[in-house]
Amino acid sequence: MSTHVRLSSIVPARFLRPLAVANLVANILIVVTGGVVRLTGSGLGCPTWPRCTEDSYVAHEALGINGAIEFGNRMLTWVLVAVAIACWLAALAHRASAGANGDRSVRLATLIALYVPAQAIIGGITVLTDLNPYVVAFHLLVSMALIGLCVLLVEVTRHSDTWAAGSPERAPTQTRRLGWLIYGVGWVVLWLGTLVTGSGPHAGDLDARRTGLDPQVWSHVHASAVYVLVALTLGMLALAHRQQLAGVRRAAGALLLVELLQGVVGFVQYFNDLPVPLVTVHMLGASLTAAAMAWVVVRAQRTV
């Protein structure tokens, strides 16, 4: 019996879609817990990496609550690793039964599984650079990209025949282009959000340096980009309605809802000096925005 056959029999193919969804949920949640690390000033609770301290891989009492929070977030990475590996094994099982239609699922599951340890290394670099705000921003944006991959995998597991190579079920060119435009502007919004965060008060540690940018100015720039994204999303809703693309309409509607809720949270936190609970909710909203805009661009490519 070949190694491939043995591996593909470990996790049944029927678990692929639930595990794909679990991948997505887990990667959203770790963004939120990572935000909690920063917002509680626990970014250097474990002052080095890959060890927690020079003498220990685990947090100890002398590090206090900040050490426990940072070490707990590190341990959650192993949950992501376990889910990603299980999803990859299920994708192998799916390919064994679906043939070429399962190739895309395997490729995506493999990429996600490799992405998780790479992201852990980037997280370690943020510690080794004493929470350099630009490295922290890159760490967050990599997570957003990973969330997008997870969304794509969920969609592929739902419509594997449609997403097979050479599938004719392509949406109109105008819809596909608008989907990519929304995705591009969405990334500008996320990036500008990291600049606002990097210039604000929640550095992750009292001694961590800031970007030196004016947070008020960049908050307005960020908000302006959000207005453009909302306008494009409304345009996609109208276009999907006219072209009778129900899947695109659902995805654009979900993105619009997230944008509106994120906007309310953003304005409230801005005018209340960034209270930690609201910033945490805003971090969740950013993750959901990344997921929703990925869903829009994926749905906009096919007529499903």
Q: What is the pLDDT of residues 71-123, one digit of tens each?
A: 998 999 999 999 999 999 999 998 887 665 678 899 999 999 999 889 989 99
- The whole-number average pLDDT for the span 132-152 is 94
Sign of CA dihedral 46, 48, 52, 55: negative
Q: How far apart are CA 265 and CA 242, in angstroms?
A: 32
Take residue 95 and report the two structure tokens written for it.
């390919």
Region 177-198: mean pLDDT is: 95
Q: What is the Cα 127 distance to its own chain's centre?
A: 20
Question: Does the predicted TM-score (pTM) go above 0.85?
Answer: yes
CA 47 to each of CA 128, 131, 199: distance values in angstroms, whole numbers, following the listed order: 8, 10, 22
Instruction: Provide the 10 A C-beta neighbour count for residue 157.
Output: 25
Label residue 213 exposed, middle or buried (CB < 10 Å: 0-12, 13-18, 19+).
middle
Who's near 256: CB < 8 A, 6+ residues apart? 230, 233, 234, 237
Instruction: Answer whether residue 283 shows pLDDT above 70.
Output: yes
Q: To which residue do tokens 């609550």 refer?
A: 65
Between 78-82, 158-162, 168-172, 262-266, the lowest mean confidence (pLDDT) is in: 158-162
Of the listed ranges 83-87, 149-153, 209-213, the one predicted with least confidence:
209-213
pLDDT at residue 4 greater than cutoff 60? no
Q: What integer is the mean pLDDT of 160-189? A: 82
Residue 246 identity = A
**d(C-alpha 216, C-alpha 42), whole Å:** 25
Flag whether pLDDT at 9 surpasses 70. Answer: no
Alpha-carbon distance of 140 to 35, in angstroms, equals 9
Q: Is the peptide bond before 133 cis (omega within 30 degrees of 0)?
A: no
